[in-house]
Structure 1
Amino acid sequence: MLTGKQKRFLRAQAHHLDPVFQIGKGGTNEHLFRHIEEAIEKRELMKVSILSNNLDDKKEVAAELAERTGSELVQILGNTITLYKESRDHKQIELPRN
């Protein structure tokens, strides 16, 4: 679980990032979860955007993405979800302590 200070740090780090994946009217599926899991292992921090033609609740989509990929939800801003997962092999981000 991330602390408030760590989330603020990660939001600042993610500010310049562009969304890597888009979720459209098809919604989420196993294929998407697998790709996000692979990408977040290499990047640690990434954004996913929800397109306007997706009618699902963005909070539910964000919670499902975080749960199914084993990552932490950093923030939901508009239709953009920011996720973080510490990488086992490609560690780049050093989180502040409490």
Structure 2
Amino acid sequence: MSFSPEQRREYRAIAHNLKPVITIGDKGLTENLTQELDRALSDHELIKVKIASTDREARQAIIAELCKTSGAQLVQSIGKMAVILRRARKPNPRLSNLIRHSS
């Protein structure tokens, strides 16, 4: 599923003030990082991820793998930051960035 321009704009606006929840270093996607990513997406639905790699193609490959393994969708990627979204079945109103920041 792809986002409409209005949805993408709304998600980018919500993510603008968020801090990165996950930072991917030189080791790439480890099992522990994948578990933490799954937990963060289940709790917050919309998160920012920082990729420490300096190579653009490597960052894009990491983002693609990140989305594939987590079942999330890429909202936006700028430089070393990526915003990804995975809807929760039962979102927690206290933790979900979509619910807390919707207008």
Q: Do these two structures clear the TM 0.5 threshold for a shared fold by scoring above it?
A: yes
Q: Give the direction of change, closer, same or farther, for the CA distance of 1:35–1:87 in structure 2 (3 Å limit).
A: same
Displacement of 1:46: 0.4
Query: Percent identity over the alignment?
Result: 33
Structure 1 residue runs of 5 or longer lacking an equivalent are: none
How many residues of Structure 1 are paired with residues of Structure 2 in the alignment?
Answer: 94
Displacement of 1:4: 2.4
> Which stretch of structure 1 is more off in the superposition, 52-61 or 17-26?
52-61
Listed as ranges, the matches of 1:10-89 within 5 Å are 10-52=11-53, 57-89=58-90
Q: Structure 2: how far apart are the matches of 1:31 and 1:52?
A: 19
> Given that residues 47 and 80 in structure 1 are in contact (C-alpha distance below 8 angstroms), is that contact kept between their aligned partners in structure 2?
yes
Q: Aligned Cα RMSD in Å?
A: 2.0
Relative to the length of structure 2, the TM-score reads 0.80
Displacement of 1:81: 0.9
